[in-house]
Amino acid sequence: MKKISVIRERGQLTIPDSIRQAVGWATPMSAVSISVVKPDEIVIKPHQQKVDWNRLWKLIKKSRHKSGVFEVSPRKSTTIRLEDG
């Protein structure tokens, strides 16, 4: 599929509706990577963030291991105490 689009004054490029409907990832506010392949060719691809799932689950388990107690006094500063539990 090939369509014509115009780069506006502030450098914004609008992707035509027909192209956005053909690919599911071209949605408003989605992250994309833009690469210059040749001097006259630009490639736009969906951004794929790499997730370290082992590290993520380790941090989730660590956060669940801690319990927090919050003591608030109207005349004193807020005290936050973490207890293992």
- What's the CA gap between 26 and 32, in Å, rounded? 8
Evaluate if residue 78 carries a pLDDT over 90. Answer: no
For the question of whether the overall pTM of this predicted structure is more than 0.85, the answer is no
What φ, ψ does residue 77 adopt, rounded to 5°? -70, 160
Residue 22: the pLDDT is: 92
Residue 83: the pLDDT is: 59
pLDDT in tens, 15-61: 999 999 999 888 888 889 999 999 999 999 998 778 888 988 988 88
Q: Which two tokens stand for residue 83?
A: 């207890």
- What's the CA gap between 72 and 6, in Å, rounded? 57
Cα atoms in the 13 Å half-sphere on the side-chain side of 64: 6
Residue 67: the pLDDT is: 66
